[in-house]
Amino acid sequence: MNPEEIKNFLTSLKGTDIEELRLEAGESKLSFRRNNVTVVVPPVAAPVVAKAAAVKEPENQLAPLKSSMVGTFFYSDSPNKPPFVMEGVHVVPGQKIGIIETMKIMKDITSSIKGKIVKVMVKNGQPVEYGQELFMVDTEDVK
């Protein structure tokens, strides 16, 4: 088959529901596969569901402040000093929220978000893992 015959043959297939065709004639081989595009039309009830979800009251936006390393977590520089932060305190990025000690090396832990601490997740002197949640912060309660 010459290119013009192939083009005419493929044009004649456009109106059919044939998805794949292989033609062999002597040493000539022709393979044709149609790419199907499926269009999904959402049901009429879908927008109603979306509106119901949009009306729903927004929940508090709680975000965790996590440990950046393994070690022992401390609330303050020393036992006789007050904690850096506690529940109800507002924090900003870069603010010191605790200390983690590993192998006698103390590392300051700072807040990466702005908000109000609503829950302390660890106790003073507690061992912590990398990525462990230390505090829960309400990011919507920012004043």
Q: Say if 38 falls within a structural domain.
A: no
5-9, 89-93, 98-102: least confident range: 5-9
Please report whether residue 86 resides in a domain.
yes
The distance between the two most distant Cα atoms of the chain, rounded to a whole number of Å, is 94
Mean pLDDT on 75-80: 87
Please count the structural domains in the chain. 2
Task: Evaluate if residue 128 carries a pLDDT over 70.
Answer: yes
pTM: 0.55
Q: Considering only CA atoms, which of 15, 132, 22, 24 is closest in space to residue 71?
A: 132
- My answer on whether 133 and 79 are in the same domain is yes
Cα–Cα distances (Å) from 38 to 21, 41, 44, in that order, read 20, 10, 19
pLDDT tens track for 10-35: 777 676 766 677 777 777 776 766 66
The pLDDT, as a whole number, for residue 33 is 67
What is the rounded average pLDDT of the residues 36-52?
50
Same domain, 67 and 27: no
Domain of residue 97 covers 62-138
